[in-house]
Amino acid sequence: MAVTSEQRAATLRLTFAALGLVLGLSSALVLPLLLPWSGQLVLTLVTLGLALLPFGVGLAFPGTRAALRSAQSLPVALGVAGASGLALVPLFALYRADLRVLNHGEVTFVLMIDSRRVARVEPSSGESALAGVALVVPAGEHDFRVVADKEGGELFRARERVEGGHPHLFAPLSAGYCFSIERRGYGDAASELESEALEGPNPFWVLPDGISWFSPSPEPGLVSTSGGTLSCLRQKRCDY
């Protein structure tokens, strides 16, 4: 049985779609590792471009141009690009972590991670949901170095491990301050307020998912909820 032109066009579209998926999904998997300091928007655009690359190459050749110019090709190409872009979202979160950096010292400092300047942090002593600087950093082990903004002297240095997908706290000049995680249950999970101190030799902690920053959990009855537990990071002057 002879193969019709429509069948050949459908086979070409399927072939280019498979190539696009291979390139797009591979990019979503590898790019967050190859370009650890690139933002999600940049990686998404690169992933979309690579997923659509086979279609672009196919349009450049007369033998495949007619098949890819058909009305059926557009939804196929958009579907391949969309699947690749969506695959990047959980992978980006897996390879990255949120980091809150606090400065309880007297001078503004600059945070260097792996010799890369990533933030300038002003002093702040009050408990505020906006205190410090919020960053997104790659997962894995990194060299953290804190230097005075004007003088340039080193104030702190440590090698820390960042766990992908989890929030972290880094407070290198926090002598005299104590941190804790407060938990309160509501509804069917109602419980008294519990407090767990953050301890350890380094001022670097991995925190529970879903934690709020320095925003105390409301008293039972003041919040409408079907149940569950709220966690909040708190700080105060140490008692000792």
In terms of domains, do 120 and 70 share one? no
| DSSP summary character for residue 95 | T
Going by the DSSP 8-state scheme, the letter that residue 171 receives in this structure is -
Question: Which pLDDT score is estimated for 71?
Answer: 66
Total count of domains within the chain: 2
116 and 80 share a domain? no
Same domain, 51 and 84: yes
Tell me the three state secondary structure of residue 239: coil
Q: What is the pLDDT of residue 139?
A: 93
Residue 140 Cα distances to 21, 129, 143, 182, angstroms: 28, 26, 10, 27
The answer to whether the CB of 168 falls within 8 A of the CB of 162 is yes
- Mean pLDDT calculated for residue range 53-73: 82
Cα separation, 170 vs 203, whole angstroms: 6
Residue 205 has pLDDT above 80, yes or no: yes
Q: Which uninterrupted H or E stretch holds 200? A: none
pLDDT at 41: 93
Same domain, 32 and 138: no
| 112 in the same domain as 202 | yes
Query: Is 138 in the same domain as 159?
Result: yes
Domain end point (choices 94, 126, 143) = 94
d(CA 226, CA 221): 11
Last residue of a domain, one of 48, 70, 94: 94
Q: What is the mean pLDDT of the chain?
A: 87
Task: Verify that 79 and 108 share a domain, yes or no.
Answer: no
Contact between 36 and 95 (Cβ < 8 Å): yes
Single out the residue of 187, 169, 186, 191 nearest to residue 178, CA to CA.
169
Residues 157 and 209 in one domain: yes
Q: Are residues 108 and 25 in the same domain?
A: no
pTM higher than 0.85 for the full model? no
Which of these three, 46, 79, 94, is where a domain ends?
94
The answer on 204 and 117 residing in a single domain is: yes
Could you read off the pLDDT of 92-108 as tens digits, one per residue? 988 999 999 999 998 99
> Which amino acid type is present at position 14?
L
Tell me, what's the pLDDT at 227? 65
Q: Is the pLDDT of residue 66 over 70?
A: yes
Distance (Å) of CA 67 to CA 16, 48, 57: 11, 21, 13
Eight-class DSSP state of 184: E
Residue 30 belongs to domain spanning: 5-94
Q: How many residues comprise the chain? A: 240
